[in-house]
Structure 1
Amino acid sequence: MEYTYLGRTGLRVSRLCLGTMNFGVDTDEKESFRIMDEALDAGITFFDTANIYGWGENSGTTETIIGKWFAQGGQRRERVVLATKVYEPICNPVDGPNDVKGLSLYKIRRHLEGSLRRLQTDHVELYKMHHIDRRTPWEELWEAFENIVRTGKADYIGSSNFAGWQLVKAQAAAKERKFMGITVEQHKYGLLNRIPELEVLPAARDLGIGVVAWSPLEGGLLGGRALKGNGSGRTERQQALIEKHRSQLERFSALCEKLGEKEANVALAWVLANPVLTAPIIGPRTIEQLRDSLRAVEISLDASVMAELDEIFPGPGGEAPEAYSW
């Protein structure tokens, strides 16, 4: 496994981040435990979760599974850089009218308490805003997060799904308060979604914010199986996406075959090749999927391969405004 710094911080994390969204949903507790054990043994120290995972009335299930895994001992908790998130409602009737999307100080405090209880820990290394809250002012947000950091309940604060200009506003407000602010942005990014190259990635680079890519395989579309089978079991939306990108996927599959590598690993290696990226998030449902993903950090894509990938999956043309102005 390779390691890098989390943005401008002094914290080192693995270059693959274990996403746990499937735990308790598509992956049962026993298999989830196996995946986390093997990931840790393979050197993956960066784990990502969210209080919403489990979904709906089952929100919090994933955090509960991780907490039970920590409780087994063996220095599991001490060896993991753990991230969880807050923003979505988690179907808790006690929250009453505040059981809505958002980032009020009240909600941040209450939801972190719930996350720590389920995770069976007294702190997380990284606490992320799962989405931008366009209503709550930064004075309130930073008041909440400063207290969390100073009381030791979280080491760093992160964001997810922020636009470039929102990162800038957040950091400007944090600087006024002499607070470190955002250390990492979790953003959807991959070969089939290169829009962040316009403004989010340049903003993060300039501000010293690390970027973690979620859905780098575009929901499995780049995983190599999209072109296989007769489509049974797929939703209409999934089948429509396959048809929309069929030509690209066929060219991509042929390139990967020429390289002797699996499609998913080439897609992950492409993300890893970007110096702004801290790590892609992998979300294995099975132990076999985890084992397959480990190969990605060993793949080095040369200039000719990167150029061919640019042809197959063209980006927005560079950074704004040059990408669309001239």
Structure 2
Amino acid sequence: MQYTHMGRAGLKVSRLALGTMNFGMSTDVADSFSIMDAAVDSGINYFDTADVYGGSQKPGLEKGYGISEQIIGDWLAKSGKRNRIVLATKVYEPMDTGPNDRRLSAYHIRRACDDSLRRLKTDHIDVYQMHHIDRQTPWEEIWQAMELLVQQGKVSYIGSSNFAGWDIATAQSSAMARHFMGLISEQSIYNLTARTIELEVIPACRHFGLGLVPWSPLGGGLLGGALQKAADGRRPGFKEKVDKHRAALEAYEGLCESLGERPADVATAWLLHNPIVTAPIVGPRTVAQLRESLRALDITLTPETLGKLDVIWPGPGGEAPGAYAW
């Protein structure tokens, strides 16, 4: 396994992160335990979850919330491997039906952190991530709440997720004014089919020293051998999505075949070639899928191949403002 620093922080994490959103939904407890055991055995030390994972995200069905954290907590208690992993979770999404049971008020942050710690059966969270930007709560309030968690030893580092470039800049400017480290990571959707963050989020991460943790590295399955999956008809509505991108997918899967690599591995390797990317999140439903994902670490994409991928899946044209102005 390869390891790298999380942005400018001294923290070192594996180049692949274990995503646990499937735990409690499409993956049962026994298989979840097996996946976490296999992840640690393979050298993966970065585990990503969220308080909202493992249940329905529809209002009125909040009883499913927290299941992923509970499964991880039970595994930690059974395995005794807490000190072998970097544990990341998130706060923002609604955890109950009350008006203060969501977003990033100091009120909710405090309660949500304590609830996550209880479910995870640990006394600290290594990276506590804001799951979304909350433009209705001032940064003075957010940072004061986060600083208190750090002072109490409940949280070691703070991260963001789904932030715009200017949100990262605003957050860091406010943190620096308080002599606080602020963010060390940003978790964004990023893959060959979704490259919008190249405009401003990636430059912001580079400037402020944030590690980038891409979610959905396979574009919702499009980059994981979608043509065969669509032909099998295993996922309702997936064929329509594939048909929309069929020309690009045929070119992409043809290129992967010429390389002798699986499309999913090429997609992950493409992310790993970007120096700002810390660890793409892989979300296996089985141990076999986890082990297959490790292949991406050994793939080196030549400049010629990278150029072909840019033709098949063009980005926004570079970084702002050069991508659209002189």
For the aligned pair, the TM-score class normalised by the smaller chain equals: over 0.9
Trace 1:215-254 onto structure 2 (pairs within 5 A).
215-230=216-231, 232-236=233-237, 238-254=238-254
Residue 169 of structure 1: SS of its match in structure 2?
Answer: helix
What's the C-alpha RMSD, in Å, of the aligned pairs? 1.1
Paired with 1:14 and 1:141, the residues of 2 have a C-alpha distance of: 29
Deviations 1:47-98 (A, max 9, x none): 000000012321100000000100113x41110000000000123x6xx332
Q: Which amino acid aligns with 1:127?
A: Y
2:198 paired residue number: 197
Deviations 1:118-141 (A, max 9, x none): 000000110000000010000000
Kept in 2, the 8 Å contact 1:198–1:323? The answer is yes
Residue 258 of structure 1: SS of its match in structure 2?
Answer: helix
Trace 1:60-75 onto structure 2 (pairs within 5 A).
60-73=66-79, 75=80
Matched, 1:90 2:91: no
Q: Which amino acid aligns with 1:34?
A: S
Trace 1:237-276 onto structure 2 (pairs within 5 A).
238-276=238-276
Q: Give the TM-score, by structure 1 length.
A: 0.96
Paired with 2:169 and 2:230, the residues of 1 have a C-alpha distance of: 45
Matched, 1:38 2:34: no
Q: Which amino acid aligns with 1:98?
A: N
Q: Given the alignment, which residue of 50, 59, 64 partners 2:65?
A: 59
Q: Is 267-276 or 239-248 further displaced after alignment?
A: 239-248
2:134 paired residue number: 133
Q: Give the TM-score, by structure 2 length.
A: 0.96
Paired with 2:298 and 2:152, the residues of 1 have a C-alpha distance of: 39
2:145 paired residue number: 144
Q: Which amino acid aligns with 1:88?
A: E
Q: Which amino acid aligns with 1:232?
A: G
| Gap runs ≥5 in structure 1 | none
Paired with 2:189 and 2:268, the residues of 1 have a C-alpha distance of: 13
Deviations 1:217-275 (A, max 9, x none): 01111111444453634333x33321111111111111111111111000000000000
Trace 1:150-161 onto structure 2 (pairs within 5 A).
150-161=151-162
2:12 paired residue number: 12
Paired with 1:304 and 1:213, the residues of 2 have a C-alpha distance of: 24
Paired with 2:304 and 2:231, the residues of 1 have a C-alpha distance of: 33
1:322 paired residue number: 322
Q: Which amino acid aligns with 1:150?
A: Q
Kept in 2, the 8 Å contact 1:220–1:226? The answer is no
| Gap runs ≥5 in structure 2 | 57-62
Paired with 1:212 and 1:228, the residues of 2 have a C-alpha distance of: 27
Number of corresponding residues: 320
Paired with 2:175 and 2:227, the residues of 1 have a C-alpha distance of: 44
Matched, 1:179 2:185: no
1:118 paired residue number: 119
Matched, 1:49 2:45: no
Q: Which amino acid aligns with 1:314?
A: P
2:81 paired residue number: 76
**Alpha-carbon distance, 1:325 to partner:** 1.1
Paired with 2:74 and 2:183, the residues of 1 have a C-alpha distance of: 29
Quote the sequence identity (%).
Answer: 57
Matched, 1:26 2:26: yes
Paired with 1:229 and 1:195, the residues of 2 have a C-alpha distance of: 26
Paired with 1:251 and 1:206, the residues of 2 have a C-alpha distance of: 35
2:59 paired residue number: none
Q: Which amino acid aligns with 2:119?
A: R
Kept in 1, the 8 Å contact 2:199–2:316? The answer is yes
Q: Which amino acid aligns with 1:85?
A: K
Q: Which amino acid aligns with 1:307?
A: G
Paired with 2:235 and 2:64, the residues of 1 have a C-alpha distance of: 24
Paired with 1:320 and 1:61, the residues of 2 have a C-alpha distance of: 40
Paired with 2:229 and 2:120, the residues of 1 have a C-alpha distance of: 38
Q: Which amino acid aligns with 2:182?
A: G
Trace 1:284-303 onto structure 2 (pairs within 5 A).
284-303=284-303
Residue 18 of structure 2: SS of its match in structure 1?
Answer: strand
Q: Which amino acid aligns with 2:264?
A: A
Residue 277 of structure 1: SS of its match in structure 2?
Answer: coil
